[in-house]
Structure 1
Amino acid sequence: MRGDDFVLPPFLQQIVIIAVIFVAIIGMKMTSPILSLVLLSIFISILLYPLLKWLEKRGLSYNVAMLMVLVGVFALGLGILAFLVVSLSQLIMEIPTFSINTSTLFAEYGNQIIEFILSLLPLGSLTGIIADGTFILFAVIFLVYELPQIKKRLIKGLGEDNPSLIKSFALVGDFIKYFIIRAKVNLFYGVGVATILFLFDINLALLWGLLTFILGFIPYIGIILAAIPPVLVAWSRYGIESAILMAIFFVILNTFAESYLFPKLTGKGLQLSVYVVFASLFVWAWILGPVGFLLGIPLTLIIIKYLENYEETHWLALLLMSGEGEKKD
């Protein structure tokens, strides 16, 4: 028997696929400190690419549009980084005031939650935050500059009619549309939260508004996580009644945004089962750290699209998708 006629039995093919996936997961886990930053910068760059095309459609030359995008990214990124550093520094100074009166109902549990959350915050490593933020900022700038050239090189190398390339571009287009709509809804979240907290004189209202905007990208649990700090601050400042009112406000805001605003802006959802969405968030968070919560859904969708391309794994892609994602005959 010639060597090129040898074919692995089907069950061995499945074992090899599982082994490759396992090795890939271990590799990503070991390189997560830098891999998470690289993936996040790629994700942000892809979302910024439509802005460049929009400016070109407005009549600006490619060079002028690119310059405007790069300057805007640099200014916005530097502003957000400076805001986070200042806000976290202020938070460090105000930590002693975040304590619930022990005479109130459930005060002991509230204080334990506050201590737990504060232990998770990177309050003692502002230098690390600045370093990571600076890396992401410049990586995004370079990637935004390179993306149009990368697209041209892919088309030139693989051919404009290459099926895999067409599917990849379509997938990126769907990502961009979905997350732009998600960003609009999250902006509504963030502005609404920051406004209400400012009116009620809750400390660091802008920081909690920004946190709400960012965590809104995490399906199902993002807004719940974003609500915890403002509710606890309201509890420590005004009492449990105010905390309950704050929680009710978040429920109303979330219900309006997710039941009316988001469905109105987009006619389709993630096309993933609820369990897959929930499980993928924690799996990617285990692999990549906190960034995994933000990138878990797009990374899962990329894997599903990859599995769809091969007959041996197509069934697995269908298993991960919801009924809405199945093609109708």
Structure 2
Amino acid sequence: MNDNNLIRYFFFLATSIVIIAGLKIASEILVILFLAIFIASILSSLLTFLKNKNIPIFFAYIVSLSILILLSLLLAYVINISLKDFIENLPSYETRINELIVDSIIYIEQTGYKVNKDEILQALNFSSFVGFTTNIIGSIGTFLSKFVLVIIGVAFILAEAKSIQTKLKIIFQNNAQKLQHVNLFSKNIQKYFLVKTFTSFLTGFIITLILMYFNVDYPILWGVIAALFNFVPVVGSIIASVPAIVLALMNLDINSTIYITVLYVIINISISNILEPKLMGKELGLSPLVIFFSLILWGWILGIVGMFLAVPITMTLKIAFDSNSETKWIGIMMSNLAKKQEKKRS
């Protein structure tokens, strides 16, 4: 590596740090922008479908926005009502979990071990569970409170969709390959979000039915959270399952809690590892390590919304790196080459 290349890489590193700092400062605006772009990419498929059914473009536009508004209002209503009821019932939950801890201590003491009950009750403070759950619901509530601006952004993006395509054709009129590359990337992102939306809805629906069957409190709320956190790879399903499993432990017997935990695992593994890859048709092409650290990075920059958008944003960056010969090595480092090598061997 010569001095010029070294200077160039340090320049890229310094520039990246400045850009990340700028993204962090502008996170409030970027969250709205990114959400509007990705939601519009989903609704554009519905808009195209309605247009192909010979529905006038204006009515197709109104129907698409109406569906988005109705779903947003429904989510806001369910979370608001459930959160108020959950807070009102906190004292009874605290009493129940303390009783469970005391019963567990008594059982341990019967086996011959000496346990300090006061220290354990103090260490296993119920407020930690309450704080964890309310933080999850509160973050989703904050996210929904900004959704009016997101909906307005989606409306403008859908209205400009046709002209954006025309502008791209003008920009790349002398480079058809780049235009094809941009269109392919747009289709892949759109396909990812459509499949992820469907599998997330399916996950939330099944979880809601299971929790209703076992009479766990707030089954619709935990189903909504399971659906939303299905967008977060690796850790999303784990985070979404904690409140429901703890409530099951407080209100049901240990066998029912084990059944619910096992069903959570089966549902998430079946949908995420079996159904999603079949519907996607191909791998995302991102290394699991890159996915994990992208969750941390974009979660830090954009908050909880950044975790939902970590994979598509990182995919965007990877494609940008792949398109430049000087940065292609970064795209290779971000790739999941293990899958490709397995396919070649087979």
TM-score (normalised: structure 2): 0.84
Partner of residue 39, structure 1: 34
Partner of residue 166, structure 1: 180
Provide the C-alpha distance between the structure 2 equivalents of 1:21 and 1:224, rounded to a whole number of angstroms: 32
Please report how far the alpha carbon of residue 170 of structure 1 lies from its aligned counterpart in structure 2 after TM superposition.
1.0
Provide the C-alpha distance between the structure 2 equivalents of 1:224 and 1:307, rounded to a whole number of angstroms: 32
2:130 to 95, 98, 115: 115
Structure number with greater Rg is 2
Provide the C-alpha distance between the structure 2 equivalents of 1:219 and 1:185, rounded to a whole number of angstroms: 13
Provide the C-alpha distance between the structure 2 equivalents of 1:248 and 1:122, rounded to a whole number of angstroms: 24
Deviation digits for residues 163-194 of structure 1, max 9, x if unmatched? 33322221110111122122222222111100
Contact 1:235 1:241 in 2 (8 A): no
Partner of residue 72, structure 1: 67
Please report how far the alpha carbon of residue 124 of structure 1 lies from its aligned counterpart in structure 2 after TM superposition.
10
Provide the C-alpha distance between the structure 1 equivalents of 2:245 and 2:180, rounded to a whole number of angstroms: 46
Please report how far the alpha carbon of residue 197 of structure 1 lies from its aligned counterpart in structure 2 after TM superposition.
0.8
Partner of residue 78, structure 2: 83
Counterpart AA for 1:115: V
Number of residue equivalences: 320
Provide the C-alpha distance between the structure 1 equivalents of 2:16 and 2:237, rounded to a whole number of angstroms: 32
Provide the C-alpha distance between the structure 2 equivalents of 1:180 and 1:227, rounded to a whole number of angstroms: 23
* Equivalence map 1:302-317=2 (5 Å): 302-317=316-331
Q: 1:185 to 1:49 in 2, by over 3 A?
A: same
Mean Cα deviation higher: 77-86 or 267-276:
77-86
Please report how far the alpha carbon of residue 84 of structure 1 lies from its aligned counterpart in structure 2 after TM superposition.
2.6
Segments of 5+ residues of structure 1 without an aligned counterpart are 1-7
Secondary structure of residue in 1 paired with 2:83: helix
Provide the C-alpha distance between the structure 1 equivalents of 2:333 and 2:151, rounded to a whole number of angstroms: 37
Counterpart AA for 1:29: K
Counterpart AA for 2:102: S
Q: Which has the higher helix share?
A: 2
Q: 1:305 to 1:313 in 2, by over 3 A?
A: same
1:138 to 114, 134, 152: 152
Deviation digits for residues 107-127 of structure 1, max 9, x if unmatched? 95483651341462465996x
Partner of residue 4, structure 1: none
Segments of 5+ residues of structure 2 without an aligned counterpart are 106-119
Secondary structure of residue in 1 paired with 2:204: helix
Please report how far the alpha carbon of residue 142 of structure 1 lies from its aligned counterpart in structure 2 after TM superposition.
2.6
Deviation digits for residues 41-75 of structure 1, max 9, x if unmatched? 21111111111011111121222222221222222
Deviation digits for residues 115-162 of structure 1, max 9, x if unmatched? 341462465996x55641322232223322222332222223442854
Partner of residue 19, structure 1: 14
Provide the C-alpha distance between the structure 2 equivalents of 1:31 and 1:169, rounded to a whole number of angstroms: 28
Mean Cα deviation higher: 169-178 or 128-137:
128-137
Identity %: 26
Please report how far the alpha carbon of residue 257 of structure 1 lies from its aligned counterpart in structure 2 after TM superposition.
1.8
Provide the C-alpha distance between the structure 2 equivalents of 1:295 and 1:130, rounded to a whole number of angstroms: 15
Q: 1:110 to 1:137 in 2, by over 3 A?
A: farther
Q: 1:143 to 1:17 in 2, by over 3 A?
A: same
Contact 1:32 1:287 in 2 (8 A): yes
Please report how far the alpha carbon of residue 290 of structure 1 lies from its aligned counterpart in structure 2 after TM superposition.
0.6
Please report how far the alpha carbon of residue 311 of structure 1 lies from its aligned counterpart in structure 2 after TM superposition.
1.6
Please report how far the alpha carbon of residue 221 of structure 1 lies from its aligned counterpart in structure 2 after TM superposition.
1.5
Secondary structure of residue in 2 paired with 1:269: coil
Please report how far the alpha carbon of residue 237 of structure 1 lies from its aligned counterpart in structure 2 after TM superposition.
1.2
Is residue 277 from structure 1 mapped to residue 276 from structure 2 by the alignment? no
Partner of residue 320, structure 1: 334
Mean Cα deviation higher: 258-267 or 36-45:
258-267
Secondary structure of residue in 2 paired with 1:312: coil
Partner of residue 5, structure 1: none
Provide the C-alpha distance between the structure 1 equivalents of 2:229 and 2:90, rounded to a whole number of angstroms: 22
Secondary structure of residue in 2 paired with 1:280: helix
Provide the C-alpha distance between the structure 2 equivalents of 1:161 and 1:54, rounded to a whole number of angstroms: 29
Is residue 154 from structure 1 mapped to residue 168 from structure 2 by the alignment? yes
Please report how far the alpha carbon of residue 212 of structure 1 lies from its aligned counterpart in structure 2 after TM superposition.
0.7
Contact 1:186 1:216 in 2 (8 A): yes
Q: 1:225 to 1:41 in 2, by over 3 A?
A: same
Provide the C-alpha distance between the structure 2 equivalents of 1:98 and 1:152, rounded to a whole number of angstroms: 58
Q: 1:105 to 1:244 in 2, by over 3 A?
A: farther
Counterpart AA for 1:320: M
Counterpart AA for 2:64: V
Provide the C-alpha distance between the structure 2 equivalents of 1:12 and 1:181, rounded to a whole number of angstroms: 43
Provide the C-alpha distance between the structure 1 equivalents of 2:93 and 2:153, rounded to a whole number of angstroms: 36
Q: What do you get for the CA RMSD once the two structures are aligned?
A: 2.6
TM-score (normalised: structure 1): 0.88
Is residue 252 from structure 1 mapped to residue 266 from structure 2 by the alignment? yes
Contact 1:307 1:316 in 2 (8 A): yes
Deviation digits for residues 202-250 of structure 1, max 9, x if unmatched? 1111111111111111112211111111101101212444332221111
Provide the C-alpha distance between the structure 2 equivalents of 1:160 and 1:87, rounded to a whole number of angstroms: 56
Mean Cα deviation higher: 106-115 or 34-43:
106-115
Counterpart AA for 1:152: T
